[in-house]
Amino acid sequence: MLTNAIWYSILVFAPSLVALLLSVVTTRNDNFYRYVTLATTLFTLVCTLFLFLMPNGVVGFNSNVGEMQGIFTLGWIPTFEIFYSMGVDGISLPLVLLTAVVSVLAMGASWSITKYVKGYCVLFLLLLSGMLGVFLAQDFFLFYVFWEVMLLPMYFLIGIWGGPRREYAAIKFFLYTLAGSVAMLVAILMLYFYSDLTDPRLRGFLNSAVGQSVIPDKQLRARIESGMAKREALAESLKDKSLEERRKILAAAETITPVHTFSILALQQIGQHTSQFDTFGVNEDGSDRLILGHGLQWWAFVLLFIGFAIKVPSVPVHTWLPDAHVEAPTPISMILAGVLLKMGGYGIIRICYPICPAGGYELAAVICGVGVVSMVYGAFAALAQKDFKRMVAYSSVSHMGYVVLGLGVWSATAEMNFDTTFWNMGIQGAMFQMIAHGISSTGMFFMVGVVYDRVHHRNLDEFGGLFGRMPVYTALSIGIFFAGLGLPGLCGFIGEAFVVFSVWAYSITMAVISAAVVILTAGYILWAIQRVYLGAEYRGPHEDHLSPSNTRENTIGIIIFALAIICGVFPRHTLLGYMEKSVEKHVGDLRAWTINSTRATWAQEDRRLQVSAIEANASDQELSAQLANKRP
Amino acid sequence: MNVHDSISQMIVQTRDVSLPHFAAELIICGTIVINLLVRMVRPLRWLDSSFLVLAGSLAALFAVRPWEMGSDVARIELFSGMLVHDGFGVLMRTLLLVFVVLFVIFTWLSGIPDKDDGPDIHTLVLGATLGMMLMCTANHLLMVFMSVEMASVPSYALAGLLKGRRQSSEAALKYSIYGAGTAGVMLYGISLISGLLNAVHLPTLAQNLVEKLPTMGPEETMVLALGGMMLAVGLAFKLSAVPFHFWCPDVFEGATAEVNAFLSVASKTAALALLVRVALGFGTTVPTMFSVAASTVPAATVPEGALATSLYSVADDASPNIAPANPAANAEFHEASARRVLSPVRGFIAKLIAFLAIITCTFGNLAAFGQTNIKRLFAYSTIAHAGYMMMAVPAILAAAGAGPNGHEVARQGAAALGVYLGVYLAMNLGAFAIIAFLRNAMRSEEIADYAGLIRRSPIVTICFVIILFSLVGLPPLAGFFGKFAVFSALSGAYNVTGQAQLPANYLVWLLVAGGLNTVISLFYYLRVVKVMTWNLEPRDQRPLQPIGLLRGAYVCLITLPTLGWILCFDLLANWCAKGAISLL
């Protein structure tokens, strides 16, 4: 466990450490900073490959296991049961790899940055630490800290190195994301305080290998164990007693101190296997305490989903994205589209659904609707754009809509006989789409950046004829744009196809609409290619600056294009093989939850009639109610 | 018992119990006297009073003994119940004295006050500190009033520190008139309450309230509520809570940055501690106190002397001074029934403070938008932060009524307040130190003059940026942990009240208001950041003298905790949690 801790920490914090060192170096040689930063991103990439993909590496990721792997947990803030805990599974691993790859490419594209190179490199590296941390964190608090850590560098990277309206774009980005993360913070705190590890139903989890590694602290385990024993004894003593006797026993029982947790995995178990998150406690008259008729699971889901949807971004909270992209410098756009948007999707799959399945189940139609609207709206908006980069930005909104849709199609319902095939496919599709979009949009933004560096404008109507001037660049661009379009054989196709297939089982209307979006996508991409690259002659300003792309640019383009082809031709070997088991586990867990919760009688019996742990859970309430009712 | 016995008992009590726990305050008093007299002695005239005051406050900090925190610090009443010594008092006084130590170093570096004014100013500072320390331990309504005045009167003079400057005099005058007005109102409130409840000693007062409240008529309840609100006016003035904040921006603009730092941190710390004391004093009973006086045991069976001592010194739950006849059986029952009786009182106080907290926070953040003067901006910022901190108090009150688990959460709430104050101390002191040093360097306190500062003074600017983001409450900076602690106190209290069937739904509103305010506060802090880092220097920029190595180092050192708390946050959280143990 300690080896894991050291390696993960090196992976995540090496960039920040280098950033710290760079900030005290005082050489005027800009290339020094660039090369050091590039070397650091390469080191991160190598470190990731070595850690996870080498057969006998430190973690040695096993793709036949759906569980979280290579977990380590160390004490950090015991007062609040906050741990420094990380791990990977098939869902986070591809995203970690994507982050490492995209940051190398983005740093490679950063030679075009010539203003305050030192500051740029320092912030870039801090951003990298934050991104890796988000995908690896297994403690909700740690996750939140990393999530927010990315905000500051991103704000400055857009605000200082951005285009003419950078101040507006940077503050808009900051404000939207902060609003989302404050909503998330409220949900996190609520989940933390309503969680209680002393529920005997969690014993199975806590004693499993994963549970052991998530909560290894001996003292804490002893507290949990004693709480569980008390609850079980109490439940035992309540068996076969009349209501009056039960009240007496409960009144005499000693208080059981709850043990809260921030562990994402433990919260998932609590959300799926107990009723702790169902309500906000009890009202004075003994009825369930709800807020506007909804319980904690629903509210937590909504708050978390808002936070993640802003990041994805989904319509209607997407408006920061086009502004941020248009103003951000090319490499930052690449990171923004390639990695940051994926965090929203990752949060939805890792946190929203497993922790608050009830909310996801109830709101499935809304989530799918948000996904479809984003797809359609993003595609139409992209068609209408005059700015090349803005068009690509809206294409991101549209493409990320597939991700939300794929994650949201809860088709394992009673009507479907709890068949998980389609939902499984949808989530695999969504995951694949995240990686594919990470590759293709990184490439598209890079390609836009290359031409912008030369002619300093992005007006779609003032291009044309680039094929003749920059042949290699144009060939690569068209390839990458086709990947974004979803041409079979390239990476964009598989994710979209999987999602559309899976939606068919959930709602035919939505499937038809989402399939039709492919036509719109083809429309705006082909139209853009036609206006920019084809045609007889270039129609814009700075014609003399249209030099062919250089080796650095070609290398980056070729890498991206090669990745697009490889992922498109060998989806199983490159990505699906790694995610399959984890996605199956995710869907399987939620299927089990659906089966349990849709048998309404089961849940009600459990909560009201069956004398069980839950009643013991209520002992504190009853006790104080009793004491309060006694008059002197 | 004859007079002689009671007097001798009182002497023994004072000598053995009260004075040792009052050592820190005595040291401060001693330092004030020495500080004033040292100028009379010719050979000692060369001595800079800063060093004397520094030594005095360090000694006082030592005398508070913050390292002995934990269950060892039992609740002990001093001077016949005038003051109370407990972990919370130690916690707050430690924060206060740590601040004073850092503050004295800061003033020495910034050069205001100069060597001639030094002794006067430092006397005022220490005098106010003494009052604030008493505010942290007040256990008696008279003490509440006296300590607030002791803290306020020197502050009025401090606001007018720059003699002959119109703005400064205006600030002092405004501050003192406002202060005098609210003090009058508060005194009136105190007399109403004490007249109605026949007590001024807070625990006795709560106990009388438990007895009288069930039979109280509507008029009496009205008078009681009125008295409570008038008392709240005085506290709200010290907290600069809306609508009693009007003095704050003007005073902050008129007074020097040094005084602002003192008013914004020390004054707030003490006022919040007092708010917790008064709110809990009215809303809860001290367990042992209660079991003595209100148990079913007839008073005659309790020895008279024991009853008398119990008023002087109430030990903590674990080792009560006198054993009630049937303690275990009745204690919990009576505590529970007292809790039930006081429930509307707690609800009233909690809702009142919650309301004030929400409007204070929101108003402070909204009003800060339009400010062009950095000190004025920070005045509104401190108002907003007072709002965040006040949010912890309703959480404490609501949780205090929700059984043993509730008590635990209430303690966490008090600890959260300590955490926030600890973090806030470093942030605000750092901010005002930078403002003062920049004022010395460029003779300006306008935000516009900070344009492009990053290129002229990078290290100080980076520190300022870190502090500003920390004030927004962004992780991984310390400000986030303060907010996290307070918000978690709110959700913890919301949870525990729900479990206990006593839902306090206003806590959700506080949580929502706190969250929204965090978002809107981003704007104005970010504006300062933007001006300093993005904007270009104007053509006619002010000349900037170098900040100086020592001052730069001070700024870096004071920023370090803001940046580094993330690594050892548990130290602070744990220490504050221990400090709150004996509060309930």
What local confidence, expressed as pLDDT, does residue B297 receive?
Answer: 35
Nearest Cα residue in chain A from B533? A160
Contact A183 B515 (CB under 8 A): yes
Specify the number of domains making up chain B: 1
What local confidence, expressed as pLDDT, does residue A231 receive?
Answer: 85
Residue whose token pair is 């004022």: B439
Average pLDDT, rounded, for chain A: 87
- Summarize the confidence of residues B518-527 as an average pLDDT: 91
Q: What percent of chain B has pLDDT over 70?
A: 91
What local confidence, expressed as pLDDT, does residue A611 receive?
Answer: 43
Q: Which of residues 286-305 of A touch B (CB under 8 A)?
A: 286, 289, 291
Say if residue B352's pLDDT is above 50: yes
ipTM: 0.88
Contact B501 A171 (CB under 8 A): no
Q: What percent of chain B has pLDDT over 90?
A: 50
- Summarize the confidence of residues B269-279 as an average pLDDT: 94
Say if residue A190's pLDDT is above 50: yes
Contacts of A192 in chain B (CB under 8 A): 488, 491
Contacts of B474 in chain A (CB under 8 A): 148, 151-152, 178
What local confidence, expressed as pLDDT, does residue B329 receive?
Answer: 53
Residue whose token pair is 């704000």: A155
Contact A281 B533 (CB under 8 A): no
CA distance linking residue A548 with residue A528, whole number of Å? 20
Name the DSSP class of A336: I
CA distance linking residue A52 with residue A7, whole number of Å? 11
Q: Which of residues 245-274 of A touch B (CB under 8 A)?
A: 255, 257-258
What local confidence, expressed as pLDDT, does residue B324 receive?
Answer: 43
- Tens digits of residue pLDDT in A215-245: 888 888 999 999 888 888 888 887 777 777 7
Q: What percent of chain A has pLDDT over 70?
A: 95
User: Smallest Cβ distance to B403: which of A76, A624, A630?
Assistant: A624
Say if residue B312's pLDDT is above 70: no
Which tokens belong to A400? Answer: 């990320």
Distance from CA of B487 to the nearest CA of A (A): 8
Contact A281 B497 (CB under 8 A): yes
Nearest Cα residue in chain A from B565? A77
Which residues in B522-545 are b (16+ Cβ under 10 Å) and which e? bbbbbbbbbbbbbeeeeeeeeebe
What local confidence, expressed as pLDDT, does residue A262 receive?
Answer: 93
With vertex at residue A199, the alpha carbon angle to CA A197 and CA A205, rounded to the nearest 5 degrees, is 70
Question: Is A561 in the B-facing interface, judged by CB distances under 8 Å?
Answer: no
How far the first Cα of chain B sits from its last, in Å, is: 32
What local confidence, expressed as pLDDT, does residue B185 receive?
Answer: 95
What local confidence, expressed as pLDDT, does residue A331 receive?
Answer: 93
User: Smallest Cβ distance to B500: which of A77, A149, A621?
Assistant: A621
Contacts of B475 in chain A (CB under 8 A): 144-145, 148-149
Contacts of B508 in chain A (CB under 8 A): 291
pLDDT confidence band for A599 (50 / 70 / 90): low
Say if residue A211's pLDDT is above 70: yes
Say if residue B403's pLDDT is above 50: yes
Contacts of residues A203-206 at CB distance under 8 Å and 24 or more positions apart, as own/partner, are A203/A228, A205/A265, A205/A266, A205/A269, A205/A273, A206/A266
Domain that holds residue B542: 3-583
Interface A:B, Cβ pairs < 8 A? 142
Which tokens belong to A372? Answer: 């479809």
Find, among A607, A608, A605, A609, the residue nearest to A240 by Cα: A609
Contact B403 A186 (CB under 8 A): no
User: Smallest Cβ distance to B491: which of A167, A193, A291?
Assistant: A193
CA distance linking residue A263 with residue A84, whole number of Å? 10
- Summarize the confidence of residues B411-436 as an average pLDDT: 93
Distance from CA of A69 to the nearest CA of B (A): 26
What local confidence, expressed as pLDDT, does residue B332 receive?
Answer: 66
Of A508-522, A558-572, B61-75, B393-407, the range with the lowest mean pLDDT is B61-75
- Tens digits of residue pLDDT in B130-174: 999 999 999 999 999 999 999 999 999 998 888 778 888 888 999
- Which residues, in sequence order, are CB contacts of A332 under 8 Å at separation 6+? A106, A154, A157, A158, A161, A162
- Summarize the confidence of residues A167-178 as an average pLDDT: 91
Contact B403 A623 (CB under 8 A): yes
Contact A193 B492 (CB under 8 A): yes
Name the DSSP class of A487: -
Contact A148 B495 (CB under 8 A): no
- Tens digits of residue pLDDT in B217-241: 888 899 999 999 999 999 999 999 9
Say if residue B319's pLDDT is above 50: no
- Tens digits of residue pLDDT in A446-459: 999 999 988 888 88
Q: Which of residues 54-73 of A touch B (CB under 8 A)?
A: none
What local confidence, expressed as pLDDT, does residue A593 receive?
Answer: 87
Nearest Cα residue in chain A from B519? A179
What local confidence, expressed as pLDDT, does residue A368 receive?
Answer: 92
Say if residue B436's pLDDT is above 90: yes
User: Smallest Cβ distance to B498: which of A171, A255, A289?
Assistant: A289
What local confidence, expressed as pLDDT, does residue B116 receive?
Answer: 74
Of A134-143, A181-190, A281-290, B134-143, the range with the lowest mean pLDDT is A281-290
Which one of A77, A140, A288, A292 would you mutate to disrupt binding with B, by most B Cβ within 10 Å of its Cβ? A77
What local confidence, expressed as pLDDT, does residue A381 receive?
Answer: 94
Nearest Cα residue in chain A from B502? A284
Contact A140, B507 (CB under 8 A): no
Contacts of B480 in chain A (CB under 8 A): 145, 148
What local confidence, expressed as pLDDT, does residue B455 receive?
Answer: 85
Contact B495 A281 (CB under 8 A): yes
Contacts of A144 in chain B (CB under 8 A): 475
What local confidence, expressed as pLDDT, does residue A629 receive?
Answer: 46
CA distance linking residue B142 with residue B122, whole number of Å? 26
Contact A452, A330 (CB under 8 A): yes
What local confidence, expressed as pLDDT, does residue B288 receive?
Answer: 53
Question: Is A115 in the B-facing interface, judged by CB distances under 8 Å?
Answer: no
Contact B491 A145 (CB under 8 A): no
Of A238-252, A392-406, A561-575, B326-340, the range with the lowest mean pLDDT is B326-340
Of A380-394, B4-18, B531-545, the range with the lowest mean pLDDT is B531-545
Contact A145 B476 (CB under 8 A): yes
Say if residue A632's pLDDT is above 60: no
Contact B360, B386 (CB under 8 A): yes
User: Smallest Cβ distance to A193: which of B333, B495, B512?
Assistant: B495
- Summarize the confidence of residues A425-444 as an average pLDDT: 93
User: Smallest Cβ distance to A79: which of B337, B494, B574?
Assistant: B574
With vertex at residue A215, the alpha carbon angle to CA A213 and CA A219, rounded to the nearest 5 degrees, is 130
Of A613-622, B283-292, B338-347, the range with the lowest mean pLDDT is A613-622
Say if residue A630's pLDDT is above 50: no
Q: Which of residues 418-447 of A touch B (CB under 8 A)?
A: none
With vertex at residue A328, the alpha carbon angle to CA B448 and CA A312, rounded to the nearest 5 degrees, is 115
How far the first Cα of chain A sits from its last, in Å, is: 57
Of A27-36, B10-19, B249-258, B570-579, the range with the lowest mean pLDDT is B10-19
What local confidence, expressed as pLDDT, does residue A622 receive?
Answer: 53
Contact B522 A144 (CB under 8 A): no
Of the two residues B318 and B244, the one the predictor is more confident about is B244
- Which residues, in sequence order, are CB contacts of B234 under 8 Å at separation 6+? B145, B148, B182, B183, B185, B186, B189
Which tokens belong to B19? Answer: 């004075």
Contacts of A258 in chain B (CB under 8 A): 405
- Summarize the confidence of residues A371-398 as an average pLDDT: 93
Say if residue B463's pLDDT is above 80: yes
Q: What is the dihedral of CA A147, A152, A153, A156, to 10 degrees?
A: 150
pLDDT confidence band for B299 (50 / 70 / 90): very low
- Tens digits of residue pLDDT in A38-62: 999 999 999 998 888 877 777 778 8
Contacts of A154 in chain B (CB under 8 A): none
- Summarize the confidence of residues B255-269 as an average pLDDT: 92
Question: Is A624 in the B-facing interface, judged by CB distances under 8 Å?
Answer: yes
User: Smallest Cβ distance to A289: which of B334, B503, B534?
Assistant: B503
Q: Which of residues 133-172 of A touch B (CB under 8 A)?
A: 144-145, 148-149, 151-152, 156, 159-160, 167, 171
Domain locations along chain A: 196-276+599-629, 374-598
What local confidence, expressed as pLDDT, does residue B322 receive?
Answer: 39
pLDDT confidence band for A420 (50 / 70 / 90): confident
Contacts of A76 in chain B (CB under 8 A): 570
Contact B83, B22 (CB under 8 A): yes
Q: What percent of chain A has pLDDT over 90?
A: 49
Residue whose token pair is 């995240």: A434
